[in-house]
Structure 1
Amino acid sequence: MASVLRSLRKRILTPHIRETTLERRGFPVKNAAAKELLETVGESFLAGYAHAVESGSLAEAEQRLEQVPARFKGFAYEGAGMGLAVLDCMAFSDLRRTRQFLSGAGDRHNYMIYVGIGWAMARLPRFLWPSSRRLDPLLLWLVHDGYGFHQAYFHTRRYVHEQYQEPRFSWPAGYESYAARAVDQGIGRALWFVGGTDVDRVTALIDGFPPARRPDLYAGTGLAATYAGGAPESELRELRRRAGDHAPQLAQGSAFAAEARIRADLLCPHNELAAQVLCGTSALRAATLCRETRPSAQELAAQQPGALPVYETWRARIADSLHTLGGVTP
């Protein structure tokens, strides 16, 4: 009976594989390689979701997730994060399975799993949303990133072309202003997919948004361009050039991607290339900067609702550190 319920939840809440094709989404096709890449990312995400909701145990889910090729394994863990969060929220279990996974096998993939929680929240009614109090107070802003990606990817006209912005994203309470920015970081990540990894299209989309939103959008794009790939060195250099004053934010997103890849032992050549171009340094050095500038427990304990969260302080430190290295100039 339990397996039947898990299968039903998958069928109701999971996008069908055809929903992730570029043709179905109406996204441009830059070339055959970019199309295959982006669609494989979507397939891997959905495979990870299925592994999470259909497996009889977390150990079984992990075993299946580890069979995914390295380039796409992180996306599978992102999907698993969504799947586990959906199961938890529908059972009112306060993310019990998700937190258990994060404390064990999922720890190396924590960035992606947090993003997956945001996908789940985008699919669930608000009364089922989990409490933010049981999550890492620093990484919980990646939940908003996942939410923003989902909305831009599946509701592209409203969130991208009409540039809709959440008026009051009151999760967690007291940080509504910054929550909208964190959602924008996910929208920026989605724009790499919406634009088909075509730098001309992606930057045109970003530059069509109000100026105040562009730094966060460029940060998300830098993360996606580095983590997912899809652009050769010449196009990455053009992306950095077009970012202009937002090059430090672009680099910060790229550094986050490098850290997520290295933490999970999933570094691929395209990650290294993107870090070299967008961060002006190696993926390892960019990842190390993320760890070295990470806020302390004391800083996290001192943050107050209504103030800028220390997550944003962290992001600014990374951008400033990359600038200090001499590789990134505004």
Structure 2
Amino acid sequence: MLQTLTKARTDRVPSLNSLRKSLLSISPEEATFARRGFQCDDAQTQQQLERVGHTFLQGYHSAIAYDDSNLLLTQLNTVSPEWRGFAFEGAAMGLALLDGLTPWKGKRVERFLGEAGANHTYMVHVGVGWAIARLPWLRDEYLAKLDPLLSWLAIDGYGFHQGYFYGRDFVTGIAIPKRLSGYAGNVFDQGLGRSIWFVNGADLTRIPQTLENFPPVRRADLWSGIGLACTYAGGVDSDGIAALKIAAGEYQPELAQGAAFAAKTRLRARNLTAHTQMACQVLWGMSAEAAAEITDIALQDLPKSSPAKLKGKLGDMLPAYEIWRRRIQAQF
């Protein structure tokens, strides 16, 4: 009798996993420019940016498929180092969704951050933001579990998600996100800026035009996101980055700050790339290592803050995350 029950439980596991994958699966087509309606005039750039999306989905589906953290890590580490951060970002989305949908088996993200995802902590926090976009009623619960400083990156990830999947509303239509107030709106725009790099296919003419359509009060954060995306994801050569720097005009400090964030993210994960190094040389006039060090120095004596509660006005108190960003911009 015991053998029969054990066999029944074992036979039921694949079907439950199959059901989970079936319900949560995202088609690879969703990461294509054709499906998203993104514009790109350069085939190589389009291939580069589409690969970002496909690698993200590879990590996402791995997290959905593997309950065992060691098996998940094995799958993520099959991705080449240049692209691996995107896989970890996708895995974080998958784990966060599972935490939200099966709370009795929660703490997947927390365990991931404490173990396999530690070196990719920035990308993991951003990936949680994708889950927030899908399960917005769990936003505050998610944020309360994350690092008090880096939890703002989840709001950044939320902004990227909305721009990537709903660009007609948030990029073209310049919609303001609901249920966000105070400084959270600024961080949302930083993620939205990253998505504009993809929406406009890294086109150095369309991007400044797109940002000019936004109210001036939103442009600084959008340019920060552009700086992070062009430095981390790549897609253009050094002449393109130089042209972007000129186009940024008064927002060059924000553009450079985004680039420094990208450099730090890659160096912590030990997956520094030639295009990240190149972008830092053009935007900062220094190496990616030196730009990343600026972000570390700016963290010294930083006050603590958490976006767990996002309602109410910002007032005169700047969150630690914004103080961090401004210190970096001041070094430009």
TM-score (norm 2): 0.90
Q: Are 1:300 and 2:300 counterparts?
A: no
* Mapped contact 2:92–2:128 kept (Cα < 8 A): yes
Deviations 1:87-111 (A, max 9, x none): 1111225951111110111110000
Q: Specify which of 105, 112, 115 is matched with residue 104 of structure 1.
A: 115
Q: Specify which of 254, 261, 268 is matched with residue 256 of structure 1.
A: 261
* Mapped contact 2:267–2:289 kept (Cα < 8 A): yes
Distance change (3 Å), C-alpha of 1:204 and 1:7: farther
Distance change (3 Å), C-alpha of 1:303 and 1:199: closer
Measured after TM superposition, the shift of residue 6 of structure 1 is: 4.1
Q: Are 1:269 and 2:274 counterparts?
A: yes
Distance 2:246 2:294 in 1: 23
Q: Give the aligned partner of residue 153 of structure 2.
A: 142
Distance change (3 Å), C-alpha of 1:228 and 1:129: same
What RMSD, in angstroms, separates the aligned Cα atoms of the two structures? 2.0
Q: Give the aligned partner of residue 315 of structure 1.
A: 325
Higher-Rg member (1/2): 2
After superposition, where does 1:1-330 map in structure 2 within 5 Å? 1-92=12-103, 96-127=107-138, 130-169=141-180, 176-296=181-301, 299-300=303-304, 306=314, 307-321=317-331, 323=332
Letter in 2 for 1:313: I
Measured after TM superposition, the shift of residue 168 of structure 1 is: 3.1
The percentage of aligned residue pairs carrying the same residue is 43
* Mapped contact 1:147–1:186 kept (Cα < 8 A): yes
Measured after TM superposition, the shift of residue 128 of structure 1 is: 7.2
Q: Give the aligned partner of residue 8 of structure 2.
A: none
Q: Which runs of 4+ in 1 moved over 6 A?
A: 301-305
Distance 2:207 2:70 in 1: 39
Measured after TM superposition, the shift of residue 30 of structure 1 is: 2.3
Distance 2:262 2:125 in 1: 14
Measured after TM superposition, the shift of residue 39 of structure 1 is: 1.1
* Mapped contact 1:252–1:279 kept (Cα < 8 A): no
* Mapped contact 2:211–2:222 kept (Cα < 8 A): yes
Letter in 1 for 2:126: V
Deviations 1:143-196 (A, max 9, x none): 011100000010011000110112432xxxxxx310011110000000000010
Distance 1:288 1:184 in 2: 25
Distance 1:46 1:96 in 2: 21
SS in 1 for 2:304: helix
215-224 or 90-99: which moved more? 90-99
Distance change (3 Å), C-alpha of 1:304 and 1:21: closer
Distance 1:222 1:243 in 2: 10
220-229 or 304-313: which moved more? 304-313
Distance 1:248 1:11 in 2: 45
SS in 2 for 1:85: helix
Measured after TM superposition, the shift of residue 2 of structure 1 is: 4.3
Letter in 1 for 2:96: A
Q: How many residues align?
A: 315
Distance 1:213 1:280 in 2: 26
